[in-house]
Amino acid sequence: MVWRRILIVLGIIALLGLSSMRSVYGIPSGGVYPPVFRLRNGEWLDSFGFRRDYYGGSNGFFPNVAYESLGPDRERAYSIGERLKANYPVRTERAEAVLKYVQRWTEYGYDEDNVVMGGESQPEWAWNADEMAHVFNENTGSVAIGDCEDMAILCSTIYTAAGFDAALVLTDSHVALLIWLPEYDNANSYWDVGDGRGEGWIWVEATGPNNPLGWTPPDFSDGNFEVTPLGFSTFTVALSPQDPQAEDAVTVTADIASARGTVSKVLLSYTIGDTKEVVQMTDSGSTFEAVIPGQSDGTTISGNVSATDSYGFTKNYDFEYTVGQGQSLEISPLLLEVGIGVLFVIILLVLMKRSRK
C-alpha cells in the first residue's frame, strides 16, 4: 500500500518534470550539428543556460551567446577567422574578406519563418556562431539562414579570431557589429565608443549580401545605439623608457580589463636571441607590470603580453625594440641635410686649396 503511494507520487513528479523540460535538436537549415535546447518555464535555454528566444536580462542572448564560440568551447567559426587571418596579412583586406565570407555563406531570413522549436515557430531566436558555421558548407554550397543577431554573433567570432577588436551594437530593433579599424578608408562613419581610443570603430552590416564594410545604415547614423565590447574593454601596453639605451631595464605596463569577467592571468614573454623568458606580470588592480632586464647595445628584444580572463578569452599584444636604436631615429631630416651641406663645403675648400698649389 505504502509502495503504491510512493510510486504514484514518483510518477506525478516524473510527468511534471517532462512537461516543464522538453529538449529538441535545432538546426537552422539542414545541417548536421545537433545543439540541444530545452524549454523551461516558458524560456528556451541552450546547454550553457542562456535564452535563445529573448535578448535581455542576465541570461538573455545578448551578448551571452556571442561568448559561446569565443571561450574554451570555441570551434568551427573561430577556426574560420584564424584561416582568414593567415590568408590575408593586410588588415583592411582581411576585414573585407571576413564580411564577404559571411555574406557568401549566409542568407537573411526571419526567425519566425525558419526556426521551429517544440513544434512551434519562434518569433525570435539567436544561433551561436558555431551552429551557423556547421550549417553552411563550402563543398556543397549550402548556406545558413539567420537574421541580424545571428549575423552579428557569427561576425563577432570570426572577426575576433581574425585578430580584430569587436563590439556588439544593440538598438531597439537591431543587432550589429563594430570593429576597430581606423586605417580603413571607405567607411561612411568612424565611431568613438568612449573607450579612450577615439574615432575608428567601423560598422559591419552583414544582413545584406552587398553591404560594404564600414557602412553605417542611415537609420543608425544618429549614433543612438548601445555598444558592448567583447573580450577586453581595456587593453593597452606601454614600455618605459620608450627608447632604451645599453643596460636600461625596460618596465612593461599593461592596463587590462575584462568586459565580462575578471582578468585571470597576464604573461609577459620576451625573446633575446635563442632564449625565451616567460614571466607572470604582477597585478595591482587593472594594471599589470613586469621588467625586462637591461641588455647590451644593438640587442633586439621581441616581446608579447598575453592576457586571459575568467571566461577563457585571450588577447595578445606584440612589440619589438632594439637597444640603443631609438635615439638614432631622432636625427631630423633637416639636420641631416645641414650635415651633408657642411661636409660638401669642407670637401670643396680642401679641393680649392689643393688646386692653388
Provide the minimum distance between the beta carbon of 20 and Ca ion in the complex, in angstroms, as a whole number.
25
- 156 to each of 19, 66, 165, 186, 288, how far by Cα in Å? 36, 7, 9, 20, 27
Residue 53 binding Ca ion, by CB under 5 A: no
Buried b (16+ CB within 10 A) or exposed e, 297-310: eebebebbbbbebe
How big is the site for Ca ion, counted in residues (CB under 5 A)?
Answer: 5
Could you tell me if 264 and 309 are in contact, meaning their C-beta atoms sit under 8 angstroms apart?
A: yes
Part of the chain binding Ca ion (CB under 5 A), chosen from 48-56, 140-148, 189-197, 269-277? 140-148
| Residue 57 CB partners (closer than 8 Å, separation 6+) | 51
Binding residue (CB under 5 A) for Ca ion from 46, 53, 96, 111: 111
Provide the minimum distance between the beta carbon of 32 and Ca ion in the complex, in angstroms, as a whole number.
20
Part of the chain binding Ca ion (CB under 5 A), chosen from 37-45, 86-94, 143-151, 200-208? 143-151
Nearest CB to Ca ion, comparing residues 68 and 111:
111
Three cell numbers written together for 216 = 553605417
Residue 147 binding Ca ion, by CB under 5 A: yes
Provide the minimum distance between the beta carbon of 206 and Ca ion in the complex, in angstroms, as a whole number.
13
Nearest CB to Ca ion, comparing residues 109 and 294:
109
Residue 10 is inside which H or E element, if any?
A: helix 2-20
Nearest CB to Ca ion, comparing residues 65 and 70:
65
Q: Where are the beta strands (DSSP E) in 205-272?
A: 226-229, 232-240, 250-258, 263-272
Could you tell me if 103 and 209 are in contact, meaning their C-beta atoms sit under 8 angstroms apart?
A: yes
Buried b (16+ CB within 10 A) or exposed e, 133-152: bbbbeeeeeebbbbbbbbbb
Provide the minimum distance between the beta carbon of 52 and Ca ion in the complex, in angstroms, as a whole number.
9
Nearest CB to Ca ion, comparing residues 84 and 152:
152
Binding residue (CB under 5 A) for Ca ion from 150, 165, 205, 309: 150
Q: Identify residues 298-317 at the interface with Ca ion (CB under 5 A).
A: none
Rounded Cα distance, 152 and 160, in Å: 12
Provide the minimum distance between the beta carbon of 125 and Ca ion in the complex, in angstroms, as a whole number.
5
Part of the chain binding Ca ion (CB under 5 A), chosen from 3-11, 26-34, 147-155, 220-228? 147-155
Provide the minimum distance between the beta carbon of 146 and Ca ion in the complex, in angstroms, as a whole number.
5
Part of the chain binding Ca ion (CB under 5 A), chosen from 87-95, 106-114, 131-139, 326-334? 106-114
Residue keyed to cell 635615439: 327
Residue 131 binding Ca ion, by CB under 5 A: no
Provide the minimum distance between the beta carbon of 316 and Ca ion in the complex, in angstroms, as a whole number.
32
Rounded Cα distance, 315 and 168, in Å: 18
Three cell numbers written together for 118 = 517544440
Nearest CB to Ca ion, comparing residues 46 and 150:
150
The footprint of Ca ion (CB under 5 A) covers 111, 124-125, 147, 150
